[in-house]
Structure 1
Amino acid sequence: MIPPVHGKRDHRGRERYVLTDTRHGHVWGVCKAVGGLFGEPRRGTYELFGWVPDDDVRGWLSGRVWLVPDDGALEPWLLEDAESLGPLPGSDSLVLTGQDDYKGPPEGHRGLVRAHDGSRWLGSCREFARVLPPERAAPPLVLRGLDQGDRLRTALRTGTRRALDLEQAVLEIRDARGEPLTDRLLWATVRDWGPSSYGADLIDLELGGESFTPVPMYAQPVWERWFAGPPDTPGAWAGFDTRRREVWLDLVRDRACRRTRRDRPAAHAYELEGRRITDEPGLYLALGEAVNGPGGYFGGCIDALTDCLRGSFGHTAPATLLWRDAATARERLSRNLAPGGRPFDLFAEVLDVLAEGGMRVTLV
């Protein structure tokens, strides 16, 4: 049976979702709402034995926590969106969870490991092990009010297992204005379908969720803000915490990659409002708005900023940038740690990159 919808329902059809075949590019269908878009992604869980804290470690820690082997024999390991579950009762262990598919630590590493979140050392442990989570069924993805393409209609009519395996697809997500916002890759296997309450000739299509990574629940307020369309005033992200600012930056980056833009002529004068730059994502969000207006993108890390300065992202060298309230960023972003733990000054590094890219910065 098709389960209740967990995503946002909008009978006015303001959100548009397009399921597209990645191999041939044909559209399987267009729908009005998606159930299961938001959820709790699977996370790696680690027990850090013999934990010695250097700082308070509670709750959500950072978008990036690096685990650095003390002997230097191995590269640092990355846990994204890391969260501390606190000490394990009756032990000297700390439990961390995070997204570790990219550079997660090896199983059962022994030897001193230090942990930092990019700005402070959190502590150290003598060894750690991955805690296997209990098996749980992946929730389905339900496309509500789906207007079927001809190929999907044929597949459903055929009804065989092979026909219902739509293989790799992308769920393209547009805002209320119909502009591309972001997308999600999945392996689309049809489980069930039936008439939809959204209208005649529309169906609700249930896809298996085993290969789909849901958008975390904490990101939903940011996504819903963007579903309505891009912001029309600067600083709409300022009220969010660092975790949700990173979500905002991801959407800004995805949207920018789907849009064409013209570079402003050389000698343009930009202004950056710096009082909201209290963390790293805030830095790049403010830079993006200074160059490309509300919801604009101009890099999300040092390498991306360097690329943007080379052109095709709104800027033509030489140019000038008036950075107001620069003291806020200087205070918050001058003491950082590279993945291996080397101290560096992100504020100064950004100024150097801007200067090398032909943007003369005046700090006030």
Structure 2
Amino acid sequence: MQLIHEILGPPLYRLTAQETQDVLLAADDLHGFFVDVDLDTPRTLIFTGVRSLHAHLRSTEGGYLEVLGHRQQPTGGYYLGRVRLTPPAQDGSLSFSGYTCEYPKAGEIWRRWASAEPVTYGEWAGYPDSYHESWLHVVQNAWFTADRQGKLGGTSEVVALDGGRITTKAGLYCALGEAVNGPGGYFGSNLDALYDCLRSSRAEPLFRVQWADFATSRRALGVQYMTSPLSIFDEFRVGVTRG
């Protein structure tokens, strides 16, 4: 495969043809992909900071977008479907028509995850509430890109949740995922997924939940909603101690 326009520095994105695994391009940034609405029609997206470009391949019926870590390992990914790249503009940018991702802060969070500094406990809670859904999306996408399952991974007998940090529904699953599987860990992204994670962990020694400042979580999420995860825990005999 011939590549042109090589530029030093690690790219964040790599576009490949899924069927042949040919790399169409690598680029530093992608604009117009992470948006705050779920669009069901393609729109024009733009790659900037193009680091490498396939000399001949300009289209594919099965475009796949990889998000790369600091060692250039695939960290996340999105199936884009049909991709037709335009000729490069004078500034080196490339545009194409494709579908979008409905999590507007995910691009910013992916860049953080791609850095050499590992994600830390509770880091998600340092972001405004409007980031929580995007953070959870990145967690889930990265977890399954790494071919992991949403089950227990060396969890201690007690899982500690800080209810003072759980101010959104997405935040609940961010907190639970890292409590069970470490920083950046996944253990469900909604009630159905939580159920599936617990069900897939039946053969493992399950845990107890120590939920500190439970009242804050209940006020933020609502009494009616909070009954659902508690009922799921109860069904799988996961004890919950409320602090």
Q: So what's the TM-score if we normalise by structure 2?
A: 0.79
For residues 176-255 of structure 1, what are the structure 2 equivalents within 5 Å? 176-186=70-80, 187-193=82-88, 206-208=94-96, 210-213=97-100, 218-228=105-115, 231-255=118-142
Offset at residue 329 of structure 1 (A): 0.7
Total equivalences in the alignment: 233
Query: Partner amino acid for 2:14?
Result: V
Offset at residue 356 of structure 1 (A): 1.4
More helix by share: 2
Using a 3 Å threshold, how does the CA distance of structure 1 residues 240 and 347 change in structure 2: closer, same or farther?
same
The farther-off stretch of 230-239 and 252-261 is 230-239
Percent identity between matched residues is 30
Q: Deviation string for 1:268-296 (max 9, x for gaps)?
A: 22222221001111111110111011111
Question: In structure 1, what is the Cα distance between the partners aligned to 2:177 and 2:203?
Answer: 11
- Is the 1:140–1:207 contact (alpha carbons within 8 Å) kept by the matching residues of 2? yes
Offset at residue 267 of structure 1 (A): 7.5
Question: In structure 1, what is the Cα distance between the partners aligned to 2:75 and 2:208?
Answer: 30
From 286, 291, 307, the counterpart of 2:196 = 307
What residue in structure 1 maps to residue 180 of structure 2?
Answer: 291
Question: In structure 1, what is the Cα distance between the partners aligned to 2:184 and 2:34?
Answer: 26
Tell which structure's C-alpha radius of gyration is larger: 1
Question: In structure 1, what is the Cα distance between the partners aligned to 2:236 and 2:49?
Answer: 45
What residue in structure 2 maps to residue 144 of structure 1?
Answer: 50
Question: In structure 1, what is the Cα distance between the partners aligned to 2:124 and 2:154?
Answer: 28
Q: Which runs of 4+ in 1 moved over 4 A?
A: 193-196, 214-220, 264-267
1:12 maps to 2:43: no
Using a 3 Å threshold, how does the CA distance of structure 1 residues 229 and 353 change in structure 2: closer, same or farther?
farther
What residue in structure 2 maps to residue 21 of structure 1?
Answer: 17
- Is the 2:166–2:175 contact (alpha carbons within 8 Å) kept by the matching residues of 1? yes
1:300 match: secondary structure:
coil
1:351 maps to 2:230: yes
1:329 match: secondary structure:
helix
The farther-off stretch of 220-229 and 249-258 is 220-229
Question: In structure 2, what is the Cα distance between the partners aligned to 1:295 and 1:230?
Answer: 13
Using a 3 Å threshold, how does the CA distance of structure 1 residues 282 and 27 change in structure 2: closer, same or farther?
same
1:99 maps to 2:7: no
Offset at residue 231 of structure 1 (A): 4.2
Offset at residue 265 of structure 1 (A): 6.6
From 51, 65, 78, the counterpart of 1:171 = 65
Query: Partner amino acid for 2:182?
Result: G
Question: In structure 2, what is the Cα distance between the partners aligned to 1:181 and 1:265?
Answer: 22
What residue in structure 2 maps to residue 323 of structure 1?
Answer: 211
Question: In structure 2, what is the Cα distance between the partners aligned to 1:266 and 1:145?
Answer: 41
What residue in structure 1 maps to residue 3 of structure 2?
Answer: none
Query: Partner amino acid for 1:241?
Result: P
2:44 match: secondary structure:
coil
Query: Partner amino acid for 1:298?
Result: F
Question: In structure 1, what is the Cα distance between the partners aligned to 2:241 and 2:8?
Answer: 50
Using a 3 Å threshold, how does the CA distance of structure 1 residues 273 and 28 change in structure 2: closer, same or farther?
same
What residue in structure 2 maps to residue 334 of structure 1?
Answer: 222
Structure 2 residue runs of 5 or longer lacking an equivalent are 1-6
Structure 1 residue runs of 5 or longer lacking an equivalent are 1-9, 43-80, 82-97, 103-136, 157-163, 197-203, 336-344
2:13 match: secondary structure:
strand
2:165 match: secondary structure:
coil
Query: Partner amino acid for 2:47?
Result: L
CA RMSD of aligned residues (A): 3.4
